[in-house]
A and B are shown apart, each in its own frame.
Chain A
């Protein structure tokens, strides 16, 4: 790879490279600004978000085709990469903690103008990989994929920036904003958010309200639905806004708000599952608004087994019924949520095999992480419903994957087959070996090493660090950082006896999930600039 090294590194240059889809150059400039120009990493993250902000909106997440049918239009992932990167910065620490930010930067220019990408009129990740545009519309050089960038047109702006909407009581404005999001009024939703965000006294309630709006917008099923789903992206996006604003400072986050809030109001709006869960809660547990997060009666081992059975092998009604029984017998909201998170790991650990099949289940896990965080941090009266929503999404992804016959060519060897081999490695040598096998995408051996480590030592921090750092070697995919962040966060909070299963599922995911590139060009740029001691 040849990097354009000449000339000074400036923020203007970074902006031009982002908007022109020079992703390699933009990443190099980003790194030079931090390492050579001593610009604070936080400030450069803000600049990168600002450069992308006008170009991440779409008219709709459904596109009408000439045939009259509709196809889905992907959600912006640039902001999700930053949210994961900021979270992992603290986990990995020092120079190693910068790697996820460099990966987020690498992706940003590839993730602009999604509407144009899916119709092959703008370069980037979707046009190059998912849509395979170069096959449909090749350039003069057949060996060069012109959809890898640079751009030949400026990116389009589908939603201009707006002024804050002020006036009225805070309660009234929060209600109007929530309704505007649900109804699809982007102008009101965004303007009201901007106005409310100006006063620090409103921000706690604003965070709760924006997360709530994201969480309740979730499809009831993805089975045979094509693009008529959001696979949790409204909730994931709201979480990104809250976390990144806390990191940058709310007074320093206008472009971040511009990136996130209008899209929360973008069509389609999927409130069917929310309506169902609201109805069953009203009928069965009308006092649920008073339920506590924790109880002195968390789920028993037998109940965790029952929950696992319902989540992995049952249908929607069984999931509802199982969770409802736990609430009715007095378990706490997070007690049950913790159970849902560990139960789902059994699916990742023992059932998932095909690399492509991880995509929807891990979106469900990340959405559950948003719901759990919201339950942990806010006293919203609808928290109980969030647990149902997350569990139903997880169960639906299991069922969706099970709708296609299993391909024997994706079969994995059992992890137990390599356990004796793993046990033969000295415990203080396991982590470097694990890293090698994660990078080699050898799931059975990686999982055997994790099983062995978990049983031979109580140490967990370095194990999580090893999986996370190895995962962040892979480029072009903000899902990686997001899932790292969710897995680590849920592990830290989980109170069940089975919390180590979260690490087992995490390792399996990162050792098997389909990769968008087989090379580590971005990692190499990071090493060149930041020179981490232990690579």
Chain B
């Protein structure tokens, strides 16, 4: 039987690992070209996705893109997918400035937290 303080230590260790991973991802996204981010987003197409577990991480990715990328990058990404028509409409809507405003308004950075409080993991 684990004690509560042991379980909390394990949880904290997992959070530190997650935080380091988020930092790495943030640096990688900021260093990436538009084409590289487009290539990442393309892996979420139903015909390309490795499975539902991968596709279900699309929303968390979009939330991070809106946190880490500038408006020009996001507008360029939205243009790429909107130009592809109906099959990519949901993705284009996720990259739209309206959705970005909603996401950015929902994300907080609590004073005591190392990272923003992303709403989706």
A contact set with B: CB distance below 8 Å: 223-224, 315, 398-399, 402-409
Q: CA–CA, A429 to B52, complex, Å?
A: 43
CB–CB B52/A403 < 8 A: yes
29 CB-based A-B contacts, threshold 8 Å: A223-B46, A224-B46, A224-B47, A315-B51, A315-B52, A398-B52, A399-B52, A402-B52, A402-B55, A402-B56, A403-B46, A403-B49, A403-B51, A403-B52, A403-B55, A404-B55, A404-B90, A405-B59, A405-B94, A406-B94, A407-B89, A407-B90, A407-B93, A408-B93, A408-B94, A408-B96, A408-B99, A408-B102, A409-B90
Contact bitstring B39-63, A, C-beta under 8 A = 1, else 0? 0000010110101100110110000
Contact bitstring B46-89, A, C-beta under 8 A = 1, else 0? 11010110011011000000000000000000000000000001
Q: What is the distance, in angstroms, from B96's C-beta to the closest C-beta of chain A? A: 8
Q: CA–CA, A315 to B91, complex, Å?
A: 24
CB–CB A404/B46 < 8 A: yes
Secondary structure of the B contact surface, majority rule? helix
Chain A neighbourhood of B55, CB < 8 A: 402-405
Q: CA–CA, A406 to B57, complex, Å?
A: 10
CB-CB nearest in chain B for A223: B46
CB-CB nearest in chain A for B99: A408
Chain A neighbourhood of B94, CB < 8 A: 405-408
Secondary structure of the A contact surface, majority rule? loop
Chain B neighbourhood of A408, CB < 8 A: 90, 93-94, 96, 99, 102
Interface size range of chain B in the complex: 10 to 19
CB-CB nearest in chain B for A410: B90
B contact set with A: CB distance below 8 Å: 44, 46-47, 49, 51-52, 55-56, 58-59, 89-91, 93-94, 96, 99, 102
Q: CA–CA, A399 to B54, complex, Å?
A: 11
Q: CA–CA, A223 to B46, complex, Å?
A: 8
Chain A neighbourhood of B99, CB < 8 A: 408
Chain A neighbourhood of B59, CB < 8 A: 405-406
CB–CB B44/A405 < 8 A: yes
Chain A neighbourhood of B58, CB < 8 A: 405-406
CB-CB nearest in chain A for B90: A407
Q: CA–CA, A224 to B45, complex, Å?
A: 11
Additional pairs, 18, CB under 8 Å, beyond known A402-B55, A408-B102 = A224-B46, A224-B47, A315-B51, A398-B52, A399-B52, A402-B56, A403-B46, A403-B49, A404-B46, A404-B90, A405-B44, A406-B59, A406-B90, A407-B90, A407-B93, A408-B90, A408-B94, A409-B90
Q: What is the distance, in angstroms, from B42's C-beta to the closest C-beta of chain A? A: 11
CB–CB B52/A405 < 8 A: no
Q: CA–CA, A104 to B31, complex, Å?
A: 59
Chain B neighbourhood of A398, CB < 8 A: 52
Chain A neighbourhood of B46, CB < 8 A: 223-224, 403-404
Q: What is the distance, in angstroms, from B117's C-beta to the closest C-beta of chain A? A: 18
CB-CB nearest in chain B for A401: B52
Q: CA–CA, A402 to B59, complex, Å?
A: 11
Chain B neighbourhood of A402, CB < 8 A: 52, 55-56
Q: CA–CA, A403 to B52, complex, Å?
A: 5
Closest A-B pairs by Cβ, 8 of them: A407-B90, A402-B52, A405-B58, A403-B46, A399-B52, A408-B99, A409-B93, A405-B44
Q: CA–CA, A223 to B49, complex, Å?
A: 11
Q: CA–CA, A409 to B94, complex, Å?
A: 8
Q: CA–CA, A224 to B46, complex, Å?
A: 7
Q: CA–CA, A345 to B91, complex, Å?
A: 27
